[in-house]
Amino acid sequence: MTRFVLGRIGFSTLVAVLLAFFTLPLLWLVTAPFTSNPTYEVTVPDFTWDNFAAVVEHPYALPSLWNSVVLSAGTAALVVAFAALAAYALSRVRLPGRDALLYALLLLSSIITGTAAMVPLFQLAVELNLIDSQFGLILILTGGLLPAAIFMLKDFVDATPQSYEESARVFGASPLQIVRHVVVPLVRPGLATIAVWAVANVWGNFLMPYLLLSDVRKQPAAVITYTLYTEGGQANLSMLSTFGLLYSIPVVLMYLFVSKKYGFRFHGGIKR
Amino acid sequence: MAAIELRGLSKVYPGGVRALDALDLVIPDGEFFALLGPSGCGKTTLLRTIAGLESATGGSVLIGGRDVTGTQPGGRDVAMVFQDYALFPHMDVTDNIAYPLRIKKVAKGARRAKAAEVAARLGLDHLMDRRPGQLSGGQQQRVALARVMATQAQAYLFDEPLSNLDARLRLEARTFLKKLQRELGVTTVFVTHDQAEALAMADRMAVMEAGHIRQIGTPAEVFQRPANTFVAGFIGSTPMNLLDGSVRGDTLEVAGCKLPVPAAAEGRVSDGDTIVYGVRPEYMTYSAEPAEGALSGKVAIVENLGASHLVTLDVAGVNVQAVVPEGGEPAVGDEGHAVPRRDRALVYRDGALV
Amino acid sequence: MAQAISPPEAPKETRTGRYSSDAAGLGKARAGVFVAPALLLVAAFLVFPALWVLYLGLTNYRLTGAAAAEPEFVGLGNLLGAVADPAFWNSTWLTVQFVLGSAVIGQVGLGFTIAWLLRDRRGPLKRLVEGLVILAWILPGAIVSFLWVALLDRDGGTLNALLGLPGFAWLLDHPMLSIIVFNTWRGTAFSMMLYGAALSNVPPSHLESARLAGASSWQQLRDVVFPHIRGHILTNLLLISLWTFNDFTPFLLTAGGPDGKSEVLAVHVYKVALQSGELGHGAAVSTIILLINLVVAVFYLRLLRSRR
């Protein structure tokens, strides 16, 4: 009996410590935006909306959020479209060298990281005149995400029985009709997963836009956040906290949406 | 409606596996034809080659007299029901049934009307707005049939159409399918691994093994006179007794017993031939008293089949089975004597029926 | 960028060959067209940079000045120079500490602990703990790093206020400890979810039979759970080591400072190549990073293959 009680106490203490550890850093994000003249310390907010007004008036804050939307949506669209086409073809047609290609893609995607490739990517962008181009950045980000996306989607397509396509084919549907009528609707959950994954990746990406976009009007929220706390010695805390909250909300909403609709689990990835 | 004809049809996979080996087969117009065989025998490959989902590596396929060997599946005017039915999960029953018409660019109103008509015939009219996931196995099967009927194709191909149903439903669906095919009169080829299903439904059937057709015939022919020991062993719910033996003058010596030469083999065997003696357990007369021309031994096992019993005799170390009607079953350890019916017993020499 | 997934399937020799057939009748030509755009982008922005890094590492390329216009081939000079640079070894040592401390000890230990504590629980407590841990993982790096700057601030930071240590400069006096704890906090979610999934796959009957035999919690862990999830542990270790090794987020917290005391390799490359403009030198360090990544990735893929 005492062992049981001690166990309960131990468990509760451990969980309380864990909760404190994970909550503590986050508190500031939810209190400071509603506090007038916030400091670094977490205090009970006086529920003012002035900070939000300041963010709205800031010349680069809201536009940078829009830039983040453009970069994320653009990259997600390209990643989904190209990965879907490639994954379908690779799943269904035995192209020469397919297995070697898949292996190479997988290897490349895990070894070539922003860190390892920042120098050549920077140079490449300079050579191709893609510095300060959002479209160029979208292409570069897409290239980085595609191998993993192709892999996850190929898993989805592989798991879809071929008899659906064969059935449509016996009824006389053309390959493009089959893709449109049958394949796309069947793998829609996979496409949605890839889109969300790509958005989440780009939304938080700091290094690539930091390297490749120097025009402050084109920079996404990740870079603007960093600028806000390094520029001019003293960081503007009310601005930073409020902007940070606005920048975080879409990710949280997306997480809630995904975990509600699909359950937050490993897709394609680490399943064994 | 059309006949299906295969001429020297072969399918060799890259890597050299010979799935179909120069098959010749004619399925007349309106026939309900079964392709039967153990798994891996090539029956499904044959069906898919007729559909055009696999391309033949030799020979030709003719449907309604037209050579379609090089034609895409959509151009062959056949319709297929897949083993898993392949109903599109994102479409409701109406759209599923009407899908072939959508491909043929039939106007939306017309194809919905046709779908409703076909569905009503199969008793699906109250399910038209459901998705496949909301249907039972039997209902899904009927939707797949309705979709095939909506095509008005010249021939239907069914790949194991009953295997996804549970045992009780399967019997019901068997009767339903046979009646439907009778009414429609469309040439239909179906694949099954279940010999009872093939016997029950087909007008004629082909028994396949390792890419070859071992026998073609009506269910009665295949059941009563299997052309070779493979078919003999494969057909029948209780396997046929296949006993090694030899010809001794004008009698046969099988498992140490002397048996008369069966009626069908009379005059076709000669002294000294090594043979296999085949007789179905159903065609044995069992008695506890010694009898002329009987296989005699000790009763080893008695299995209850419901209305009858399957008795296994140990005849000089060889198992011989006989079906014994209700009431006459012996006890284990008894002496038993099983007399084969002379008009039903068969003799195989070198694996082939004499 | 790095998101590891299952390896390509070994070519299946199906007897009927049915699964390799082209169900939609796409044909090789059309399939090639489908694959082309993706391959083009991957080649341009992933493969080419990797090869270019190898070449650059062999030149004295600089961002500005004479060597920017006409870089000279210096062979292995950069590589040798980078290896001879004490700053490189300092960064390597810091990276080892960072990976061992935050990934191997921090994330794996904490992730497993949480998964184990919550394994049989349902309901709001589990959702709350998991939600918070995942939140730390999904919020943008720029935001969470600033949250930690605020938390650890010397004068007004919440931590010092709680501990009653005004003026204790965490980020200046203990930069490595700060980024290690930070990265543990940030990345635990992945390990927690992985182990959560792994633990739910341990057959309850095995645990029950161990309990019936009178095994203590620790004995159950050792004799039943660990043997079952050994593969997951290895996968997890390799992946998070790879990610942590390449993580650039510490830069947002300490910018590598003070005096390079938290300059892990990822930050080192950035400083050498883009702040000092020595692209060739930076590329040589990148090459070393690539090689280390390659070793870990190949090891991981072999492991996955052998377990199929």
Distance between CA atoms of residues B98 and B158, nearest Å: 19
Residue with tokens 């860190």: A115
Contact B236, B196 (CB under 8 A): no
Mean pLDDT confidence for A117-121: 80
Structural Rg of chain B based on CA atoms:
24
Task: Name the residue facing B54 among C13, C15, C21 (closest C-beta).
Answer: C21
Q: What is the DSSP string of B6-64?
A: EEEEEEE-TTS-EEEEEEEEEE-TT-EEEEE-STTSSHHHHHHHHHTSS--SEEEEEET
Contact B39, B193 (CB under 8 A): yes
Which chain A residues are closer than 8 Å to C21 by Cβ?
Answer: 162
- B213 class by beta-carbon count within 10 Å (0-12 exposed, 13-18 middle, 19+ buried): buried
Which 3 state secondary structure label does DSSP give A21?
Answer: helix
Chain A: closest CA distance from residue B103 (Å): 6
ipTM of the complex: 0.82
Residue B286, H or E segment? strand B284-287
Contact B315, B259 (CB under 8 A): no
Which 3 state secondary structure label does DSSP give C11?
Answer: coil
Q: Does B105 touch chain A (CB under 8 A)?
A: no
Inspect the interface and report whether the beta carbons of B104 and A172 lie closer than 8 Å.
Answer: yes
Which one is predicted more confidently, B33 or A257? B33
Which 3 state secondary structure label does DSSP give A170?
Answer: helix
Which chain B residues are closer than 8 Å to C13 by Cβ?
Answer: 15
Inspect the interface and report whether the beta carbons of B17 and C15 lie closer than 8 Å.
Answer: yes
Cα B137 to chain centroid distance, Å, stands at 22
**What topology does CATH give the domain A53-261?**
MetI-like fold (1.10.3720)
Distance between CA atoms of residues A83 and A89, nearest Å: 10
Q: Which residue of A has its CA nearest to B151?
A: A171
How many other CB atoms are there within 10 angstroms of residue C273's CB atom?
Answer: 27
Mean pLDDT confidence for B174-186: 90
Cα A155 to chain centroid distance, Å, stands at 20
- Token pair for C82: 């980078």
- Token pair for B20: 């179909």
C23-44 tens-digit pLDDT: 777 778 888 888 899 999 988 8
Which chain C residues are closer than 8 Å to B75 by Cβ?
Answer: none
B121-139 tens-digit pLDDT: 888 888 889 998 888 888 8
B204-209, strands of its sheet edge to edge: B78-81, B155-159, B187-192, B32-36, B204-209, B212-217
Q: Is the pLDDT of residue C83 over 70?
A: yes
- Checking DSSP bridges between strand B32-36 and strand B187-192, what pairing results, if any? parallel
Inspect the interface and report whether the beta carbons of B74 and A171 lie closer than 8 Å.
Answer: yes
Contact C233, C103 (CB under 8 A): no
Mean pLDDT taken over chain C: 80
Q: Is the pLDDT of residue A265 over 80?
A: no
B59: left (phi over 0), alpha (psi -120 to 50) or beta: left
Write out residues 129-168 of A within 8 Å (CB-CB) of B.
161, 163-164, 166-168
Distance between CA atoms of residues C187 and C105, nearest Å: 12
Chain B: closest CA distance from residue C70 (Å): 54
Inspect the interface and report whether the beta carbons of C236 and A270 lie closer than 8 Å.
Answer: yes
Contact A181, A168 (CB under 8 A): yes
Domain ranges of chain A: 2-35+42-48, 53-261
Distance between CA atoms of residues C46 and C172, nearest Å: 36
Interface test mutation site (partner C, options A15, A68, A111, max chain C beta carbons within 10 A)? A111
pLDDT at residue number A232: 62
Distance between CA atoms of residues C80 and C128, nearest Å: 51
Inspect the interface and report whether the beta carbons of A166 and B82 lie closer than 8 Å.
Answer: yes
Interface test mutation site (partner C, options B13, B44, B47, max chain C beta carbons within 10 A)? B13
- Token pair for C231: 């593969």
Inspect the interface and report whether the beta carbons of A120 and C5 lie closer than 8 Å.
Answer: no
Spatial neighbors of C53 by CB under 8 A, at least 6 apart, are A116, A117, A119, A120, C283, C286, C287, C290
Write out residues 46-75 of B within 8 Å (CB-CB) of C.
48, 53-54, 72-73
Q: Is the pLDDT of residue B282 over 80?
A: yes
Q: Does B160 touch chain C (CB under 8 A)?
A: no
pLDDT at residue number A263: 60
Inspect the interface and report whether the beta carbons of B86 and A172 lie closer than 8 Å.
Answer: no
C4-26 tens-digit pLDDT: 333 333 333 333 334 345 777 77
Cα B177 to chain centroid distance, Å, stands at 15
Q: Which of C234, C278, C267, C228 is nearest to C119 (CA)?
A: C228
How many other CB atoms are there within 10 angstroms of residue B36's CB atom?
Answer: 27
Query: Which residues make beta-bridge pairs with B301?
Result: B312
Q: Which residue of C has its CA nearest to B14?
A: C17
Which 3 state secondary structure label does DSSP give C261?
Answer: coil
Which chain A residues are closer than 8 Å to C138 by Cβ?
Answer: 200, 204, 251-252, 255
Chain C: closest CA distance from residue A269 (Å): 4
Neighbours of chain B (3+ CB pairs under 8 A): A, C
Inspect the interface and report whether the beta carbons of C16 and B15 lie closer than 8 Å.
Answer: no
Residue B251, H or E segment? strand B251-254
Residue B244 is which amino acid? Answer: D
Distance between CA atoms of residues B111 and A116, nearest Å: 58
pLDDT at residue number C63: 67
According to the per-residue pLDDT averaged within each range, which of A32-41, A100-109, B32-41, C70-79 is highest?
A: B32-41
Distance between CA atoms of residues B163 and B161, nearest Å: 6
Inspect the interface and report whether the beta carbons of A172 and B99 lie closer than 8 Å.
Answer: no
A128-168 tens-digit pLDDT: 888 888 999 999 999 988 988 888 888 888 888 888 999 99
Q: Is the pLDDT of residue A102 over 90?
A: no
Q: Give the number of A-B residue pairs with CB atoms closer than 8 Å.
A: 58
- Token pair for A77: 């669209």
pLDDT band for B60, please (50, 70, 90 cuts).
very high
Q: Give the number of A-C residue pairs with CB atoms closer than 8 Å.
A: 334
Spatial neighbors of A192 by CB under 8 A, at least 6 apart, are A261, A262
B346-349, strands of its sheet edge to edge: B257-260, B251-254, B241-248, B274-279, B346-349, B352-353
Q: Which residue of C has its CA nearest to B19?
A: C16
Residue B280 is which amino acid? Answer: R
Distance between CA atoms of residues B248 and C97, nearest Å: 91
How many other CB atoms are there within 10 angstroms of residue B16's CB atom?
Answer: 6
Residue B116 is which amino acid? Answer: A
Spatial neighbors of A96 by CB under 8 A, at least 6 apart, are none
State phi, psi for A158 to the nearest 5 degrees.
Answer: -60, -35
Inspect the interface and report whether the beta carbons of A171 and B151 lie closer than 8 Å.
Answer: yes
Chain C: closest CA distance from residue B32 (Å): 25
Which chain C residues are closer than 8 Å to A126 by Cβ?
Answer: none
User: What percent of chain C lies above the pLDDT cut of 70?
Assistant: 89
Inspect the interface and report whether the beta carbons of B72 and C21 lie closer than 8 Å.
Answer: no
Of A89-103, A154-168, A254-268, C55-69, give the lowest mean pLDDT range.
A254-268
Mean pLDDT confidence for C217-225: 86
Q: Which residue of C has its CA nearest to B15?
A: C13
Q: Which of C133, C170, C101 is nearest to A22 (CA)?
A: C133
pLDDT at residue number C69: 62
Which chain C residues are closer than 8 Å to A229 by Cβ?
Answer: 146, 149
Task: Name the residue facing B74 among A170, A181, A185 (closest C-beta).
Answer: A170
pLDDT band for C65, please (50, 70, 90 cuts).
low
Mean pLDDT confidence for C147-165: 82
pLDDT band for B35, please (50, 70, 90 cuts).
very high
Q: Does B51 touch chain A (CB under 8 A)?
A: yes
Contact A106, C5 (CB under 8 A): yes
Mean pLDDT confidence for C97-125: 89
Q: Which residue of C has its CA nearest to B46?
A: C16
Query: Which residues make beta-bridge pairs with B9?
Result: B23
pLDDT band for A271, please (50, 70, 90 cuts).
very low
Residue C223 is which amino acid? Answer: D
pLDDT band for C94, please (50, 70, 90 cuts).
very high
State phi, psi for A131 to the nearest 5 degrees.
Answer: -65, 135
Q: Which residue of C has its CA nearest to B53?
A: C23
pLDDT at residue number B276: 92
Inspect the interface and report whether the beta carbons of A182 and B103 lie closer than 8 Å.
Answer: no
How many other CB atoms are there within 10 angstroms of residue A151's CB atom?
Answer: 24
Residue B79, H or E segment? strand B78-81
Q: Which residue of A has its CA nearest to C111?
A: A18
Contact A155, A268 (CB under 8 A): yes
Please tell us whether the domain made up of B4-234 is placed in CATH 3.40.50.300: yes
Distance between CA atoms of residues C243 and C230, nearest Å: 20
Q: Does B40 touch chain C (CB under 8 A)?
A: yes
Residue with tokens 């653009």: A74
Pick the CATH number of B241-353 from 1.10.10.1110, 2.40.50.140, 2.60.120.1570, 2.30.42.10: 2.40.50.140
Inspect the interface and report whether the beta carbons of A164 and B86 lie closer than 8 Å.
Answer: yes
Which one is predicted more confidently, C19 or C243? C243
Which chain A residues are closer than 8 Å to C298 by Cβ?
Answer: 107
pLDDT band for C70, please (50, 70, 90 cuts).
low
- Token pair for A215: 């025009």
Distance between CA atoms of residues C288 and C265, nearest Å: 10
Mean pLDDT confidence for C249-256: 83
Please tell us whether the domain made up of C85-307 is placed in CATH 1.10.3720.10: yes
Domain ranges of chain B: 4-234, 241-353
With an 8 Å Cβ cutoff, the interface of chain C facing chain B consists of 13, 15-18, 21, 23, 25
B18-27, strands of its sheet edge to edge: B18-27, B4-12, B58-63, B66-67
- What's the whole-model pTM score? 0.78
pLDDT at residue number B31: 92
Contact B53, B44 (CB under 8 A): no
Distance between CA atoms of residues C189 and C107, nearest Å: 8
The separation between the first and the last C-alpha atoms of chain A, rounded to the nearest angstrom, is 39
Mean pLDDT taken over chain B: 89
Q: Does B17 touch chain C (CB under 8 A)?
A: yes
Task: Name the residue facing A177 among B72, B89, B103 (closest C-beta).
Answer: B103
Inspect the interface and report whether the beta carbons of A26 and C50 lie closer than 8 Å.
Answer: no
Q: Does B13 touch chain A (CB under 8 A)?
A: no
Chain B: closest CA distance from residue A191 (Å): 15
A194-251 tens-digit pLDDT: 888 888 889 988 888 988 888 888 899 889 888 887 776 667 788 888 888 999 999 8
Q: Which of C229, C4, C231, C200 is nearest to A263 (CA)?
A: C200
Distance between CA atoms of residues B30 and B28, nearest Å: 6
- Checking DSSP bridges between strand B251-254 and strand B66-67, what pairing results, if any? unpaired
Q: Does A208 touch chain C (CB under 8 A)?
A: no
Neighbours of chain C (3+ CB pairs under 8 A): A, B
Respond yes or no on whether the N-terminal peptide bond of residue C258 is cis (omega within 30° of 0): yes
Chain B: closest CA distance from residue A163 (Å): 6
- C264 class by beta-carbon count within 10 Å (0-12 exposed, 13-18 middle, 19+ buried): buried
Q: Does A184 touch chain B (CB under 8 A)?
A: no
State phi, psi for C112 to the nearest 5 degrees.
Answer: -70, -40
Distance between CA atoms of residues A89 and C27, nearest Å: 9
Contact B347, B262 (CB under 8 A): yes
